[in-house]
Structures are given as C-alpha cells and as structure tokens.
Structure 1
Amino acid sequence: MPTRSAAVLTSGTANAARLFVAALAFTSAYVGFSAYNNAGSAAAEPPRTVTLAARDLPITEQITEPITVPAKAGEVFVSLVTGGADCLKTYVARGVVVNAGQSVAYGWKLTRWSPATKTWRTYLVEYDGFAGDAKTVEWRPQVTGNPGWYRVELTAEGAKTVRSERFQVSC
C-alpha cells in the first residue's frame, strides 16, 4: 500500500507543477503582448483637439419684498418666486419651527412624485438649526428642467414631519 499512495502523491504534485508552469507562461505572454501593444500604440496615435463648450445661465435677483402669506406652525407654504430661462424655477417654502429646548435642528426636503414607483422620492435636501423658542424658517429650492409633481417637507428634531400641498412644475 505505501507504494500506491506515494505514486498518487507524486502524480498529483506533477500535475500541480504543470498547471503552475502553464499559468506562468500564459501570464508572461499576456503581459508581454499588452506591453507591446501599449508601446506601439503610444507613438502611432495622432493628437486630438478637444473643444469645451459652456452655457451661460441667467443670474436670478434676490427678492426684497416680503412674502405676504404668514407662516403657521404645523404648515408649510410654498410659492413660486421666479421662473427663468431654461425652465429654472425658484420656490420659497416657509414654516414655523417651535422649540421647547435650547437649540433645535431642522431639515427641508423637496420630494418628487415618481409615477413608475408610485412614491415620493427625495430631490433636494437642506439642513439648518437655531437657538430660541420659535422661528419662521424659509428655504428657496430651485428646480431646473425637470417637470413633475413636487412637495416640500419640513422636519424638526422631536416633531413630526410637516408636508406642503403638492405643486406641479412644468416648462
């Protein structure tokens, strides 16, 4: 029996050595062929000219007149501020955050209705905070060339999320 086990062990080691040598030869040939192609193609390719183009976007003016709709706690009011070129629309969202502690963090979220999934999906997000009892907060999200149904959500730590009525953006 010992001679039979030794013969099997020897033939297995020989097969492993052959496979290793074959893999090493294949890898060497691949690396050599790749180096040959890279060296030959670097000198033969002519230089290319790349032209960059830029598009000017209009600058929107800052609104100086006050928004006449008063903000209320538990509500988010959204109105269109400007509608510019290339379907650039700026909205203003207002709400009141009431704080029971020393400081509070809050976040805005602009969500867009997805007809494919039949859910509201996040489009833009912004976070802020303040110290004090209550504050009227404001956010100015912009939508550019993406028509659809949107709504704004205001979330403050320790309070439930307040959502605006949905509104439609069209170009």
Structure 2
Amino acid sequence: MTTRSAAALASGTANTAKLFVAALAFTSAYVGFSAYHSANSATQPVTTITLSARETPISAPARRTSPAAREGEVSVDAVPDGGAGCAGSYVARSVVVNPDPDQAVSYAWRLTRWSPAIRTWRTYLVDHDGSAAARRTVEWRPQMSGNPGWYRVELAVKGAATVRSERFEVSC
C-alpha cells in the first residue's frame, strides 16, 4: 500500500513540475514577444484634421408627408423603400369606430386591382385585424412586386359600411 501511495505522489509531483515548467516557458515567451514588439514599434505621425460647418437656414417649414387618418376615409401613401423595378410599399390609414364599444370589433383590409379584361375590381391582398377600443387609428402596409396597374384599398369593419380609398396607379 505504501509503495502505491508513494508512486502516485511521485507521479503527481512530476506532472505538477512539468505543468509549472510549461507555464513558465509560455509566460517568458509572451513577455519576450511583448518586449520585442514594444521595442520595434515607432510612434506614428500625427495628422491634424480641421472640420468646418456652415449654417443653412430653413427656407420652408417642415410639412407632414402623409395626411392624418380620418373616419370614413382611407388614405394611401407611397413609402420609398429603395426597391428596384416594380417593387412598391404603401401605407393605408383610417380610423375604425367600434359600433358596439362593449365588444371587440374585427376589420379587414383588402387591396383590390382593376381588371380591364372583366372590367371589375379583383382582390389582390387581404389582411385581418381587430381592436377592443371604441375608436382607433389603424394602419396597413401592403407591398406589391412586379404587377403594374390600378389599385385601391378597402377597409371593412364588422357592423359598419366598407370604405374605399381613391384609386392609385402602380407603374414601372
């Protein structure tokens, strides 16, 4: 038993000594590299940059790009999104008035496209939503890609009449 313990102790001591020597070698190499790098590094020349600014007066007051949403109307504005070709983003806004304020109201947005072949408006995109508020300003952002033509946005509120936007043209 004693010889086995002595052998384990001697083996552990040898491993500890090896790890200590390896750590010492790594540390001295790191310190030597750092000293070499510091000795060879020269200071970089300083470059002075002078910045200037000028004041430009505002010639016209800032105006809001999109009109405020109103009850019974749907307004549609193009949103510049940087898309190429026929890609286009739009924002439709309106005000939803809940016919029964004690209950939640559901509403649906519909983007319709004019079909010259059958001379009628056809559904292109649909989105559904809802609200528990008595009155709420709502917004929808439909996106179209590669399909020029005449469009309009409809907002159908459950228990109320459907309202439609003016038609607008998407062209490439």
TM-score bucket (shorter structure): 0.5 to 0.7
Determine helix, strand or coil for the equivalent of 1:158.
Answer: coil
Q: Which residue of 2 aligns with 1:133?
A: 134
Whether 1:144 and 2:145 are equivalent positions in the alignment is: yes
RMSD: 1.3
Amino acid at match of 1:125: V
* Structure-1 separation of matches of 2:78 and 2:90: 4
Give how far 1:82 is off. Answer: 2.0
The Cα of 1:67 is off from its aligned counterpart by 5.7
- CA shift, 1:87, in A, is 1.6
**Counterpart residue identity of residue 67, structure 2:** V
Deviations 1:11-66 (CA, angstroms, capped at 9, x unpaired): xxxxxxxxxxxxxxxxxxxxxxxxxxxxxxxxxxxxxxxxxxxxxxxxxxxxxxx8
- Shift in CA distance, 136/169, structure 1 to aligned 2, threshold 3 Å: same
Partner of 1:75: 73
Deviation at 1:151, TM superposition (A): 0.1
Instruction: State the 1:105 CA deviation.
Output: 0.1
1:14 matched to which residue of 2?
none
Cα distance in 2 for partners of 1:135, 1:81 equals 22
- C-alpha separation in 2, matches of 1:147 and 1:74: 27
- Residue 122 of structure 1 pairs with residue 120 of structure 2: no
- Percent identity reads 63
Native 8 Å contact 2:66 2:77 kept in 1: no
Amino acid at match of 1:87: C
Largest Rg, 1 or 2:
2
TM-score (norm 2): 0.59
Q: For each residue in 1:76-119, what CA deviation from the matched residue of structure 2 results, as whole angstroms up to 9, or x when unmatched?
A: 00000125113210000000000133210000000000000000
CA distance in 2, matches of 1:79, 1:160: 22
Number of residue pairs aligned between Structure 1 and Structure 2: 106
Which residue of structure 2 aligns with residue 105 of structure 1? 106
Q: Which residue of 2 aligns with 1:159?
A: 160
SS in 1 for 2:169: strand
**Structure 1: runs of 5+ lacking an equivalent:** 1-65
Letter of the 1:90 partner, please give it: S
Which secondary structure does the structure 2 equivalent of 1:165 belong to? Answer: coil
Structure 1 equivalent of residue 90 of structure 2: 91
1:6-17 map, 5 Å: none
